[in-house]
């Protein structure tokens, strides 16, 4: 694990601003194509904040706007309450950790970490002290004289983190920082990165397309789609209470069944799908009585399976087992309902599991509070 016994907190910037990073109505246009659309965003001081989304959604452009590698086409970027629009990247109180590490192969580890300090004019004694502190922080003291080619991927990532932290930035930007690591090492580094953030109380802003990584590391998450922020919230809010079909589908796995409102109020909603299923659903957090086109979202782990008709009054549908995938700790089932709809079901793996013949009736059922109704479109008409 990282150790922090001799580590000092980053230099303060002398401001009482509540937010370390703010974006106000920010646009970014490349050759007529809008990559970031009217984004408003606030990252609190000391927060581990993740920007999550598929390739091409604008998340990396957002990070580059914060870091100063891109300039907004409109809007304003602020750090600790100060506008950064006219401040070049090298003068901003941020440092970036890239997926590729971007280490200098002809320099030793200590020289890599010291590079930025030397550029800024620190004297030899100051550089040596800060480099030693940074190496101690990432538990790499014995590797100071080695070269990047002599290190593993995880060790190079630690060096990249040390180089970012040695300048004592206000904000650390992480651009897919663990993307180049294998799965086991990635999991290990997630724990270490979380511990580092907790111990230093720094503000981390991470870009990733890995949903599990964002859920496990973040205090809050912004989900992006087509240059817009679809939703910002704590991991549990994003997963359990998505505000759009896109967020529900992108964060983890879900079953989406589009339909129309049959009847409903704030106490409960009944939706009829295109195939004729009547599904009792938990109403959306912001209930819109005028909404007619709705999509039902049901997480695979919320669905129960039974070989016999269960004694439930709603949300029970007969089907046939079509596919089984063994996932180690869990088993994934694909069930085709008599209506023709297909549901993915995820259940804990038990040795006692006996699977029915594909032609044997099997019943899916879930509680109305285990699914949610989502508006099929945004207020501006964009498809969710």
| Average pLDDT rounded to a whole number, residues 337-357 | 83
pLDDT at 11: 45
Do 233 and 283 share a domain, yes or no? Answer: no
Position 191 pLDDT exceeds 90: no
More confident residue, 2 or 19: 19
Do 40 and 162 share a domain, yes or no? Answer: yes
Do 86 and 218 share a domain, yes or no? Answer: yes
End of a domain among 240, 268, 288? 240
More confident residue, 127 or 366: 366
Q: How many domains does the chain have?
A: 2
- Supply the range of the domain harboring residue 133: 19-240
Do 166 and 272 share a domain, yes or no? Answer: no
Do 252 and 212 share a domain, yes or no? Answer: no
End of a domain among 190, 216, 240? 240
Cα–Cα distance, 360 to 305 (Å, whole number): 13
End of a domain among 213, 240, 267? 240
pLDDT at 324: 87
Asked if the structure places residue 298 within a domain, the reply is yes
Asked if the structure places residue 10 within a domain, the reply is no
Asked if the structure places residue 367 within a domain, the reply is yes
Do 163 and 115 share a domain, yes or no? Answer: yes
Give the pLDDT band of residue 3 (cuts 50, 70, 90): very low
Do 230 and 258 share a domain, yes or no? Answer: no
**CATH at 263:** 2.40.50.100
| Average pLDDT rounded to a whole number, residues 83-97 | 91
Do 323 and 194 share a domain, yes or no? Answer: no
Cα–Cα distance, 177 to 185 (Å, whole number): 12
Position 7 pLDDT exceeds 50: no
pLDDT tens sequence across 20-70: 999 999 999 999 999 999 999 999 999 999 999 998 999 999 999 999 999
Do 208 and 256 share a domain, yes or no? Answer: no
| pTM for this prediction | 0.83
pLDDT at 376: 63
Do 232 and 260 share a domain, yes or no? Answer: no
Asked if the structure places residue 11 within a domain, the reply is no
Give the pLDDT band of residue 288 (cuts 50, 70, 90): low
Do 196 and 267 share a domain, yes or no? Answer: no
Asked if the structure places residue 37 within a domain, the reply is yes
Do 24 and 49 share a domain, yes or no? Answer: yes
pLDDT tens sequence across 228-268: 999 999 999 999 999 888 999 999 899 999 999 888 766 67
pLDDT at 342: 96
Nearest Cα to Cα of residue 221 among 354, 50, 88 = 50
**CATH at 226:** 3.40.50.300
pLDDT tens sequence across 92-130: 999 888 877 678 889 899 988 888 888 888 888 888 888
Contact between residue 273 and residue 340 where contact means Cβ atoms under 8 Å apart: no
């Amino acid at each position: 694990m990282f150790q922090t016994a001799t580590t000092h907190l980053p230099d303060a910037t002398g401001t009482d601003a509540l937010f370390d990073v703010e974006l106000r109505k920010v646009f970014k246009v490349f050759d007529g194509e809008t990559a970031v659309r009217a984004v408003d965003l606030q990252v609190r001081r000391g927060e581990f904040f993740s920007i999550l989304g598929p390739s091409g959604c604008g998340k990396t452009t957002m990070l580059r706007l914060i870091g100063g590698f891109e300039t907004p086409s409109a809007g304003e970027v602020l750090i600790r309450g100060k506008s950064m629009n006219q401040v070049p990247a090298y003068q901003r109180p941020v440092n970036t950790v890239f997926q590729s590490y971007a280490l200098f192969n002809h320099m030793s580890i200590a020289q890599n970490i010291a590079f930025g300090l030397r550029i800024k004019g620190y004297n030899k004694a100051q550089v040596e002290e800060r480099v030693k502190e940074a190496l101690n922080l990432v538990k790499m003291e014995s590797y100071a004289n080695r070269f990047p080619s002599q290190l593993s991927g995880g060790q190079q990532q630690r060096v990249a983190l040390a180089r970012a932290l040695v300048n004592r930035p206000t904000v650390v930007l992480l651009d897919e920082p663990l993307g180049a690591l294998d799965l086991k090492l990635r999991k290990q580094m997630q724990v270490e990165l979380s511990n580092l953030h907790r111990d230093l109380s720094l503000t981390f802003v991470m870009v990733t397309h890995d949903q599990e990584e964002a859920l496990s590391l973040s205090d809050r998450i912004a989900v992006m789609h087509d240059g817009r922020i679809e939703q910002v919230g704590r991991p549990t809010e994003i997963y359990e209470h998505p505000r759009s079909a896109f967020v529900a589908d992108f964060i983890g796995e879900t079953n989406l069944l589009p339909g129309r409102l049959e009847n409903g109020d704030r106490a409960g909603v009944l939706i009829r799908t295109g195939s004729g299923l009547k599904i009792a659903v938990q109403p959306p957090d912001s209930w819109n009585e005028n909404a007619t086109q709705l999509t039902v979202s049901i997480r695979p782990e919320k669905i129960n399976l039974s070989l016999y008709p269960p004694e439930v009054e709603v949300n029970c549908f007969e089907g046939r087992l079509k596919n089984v995938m063994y996932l180690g700790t869990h088993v994934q089932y694909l069930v085709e309902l008599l209506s023709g709809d297909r549901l993915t079901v995820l259940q804990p793996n038990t040795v006692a599991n006996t699977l029915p013949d594909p032609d044997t009736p099997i019943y899916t059922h879930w509680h109305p509070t285990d699914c949610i109704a989502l508006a099929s479109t945004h207020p501006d008409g964009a498809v969710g």
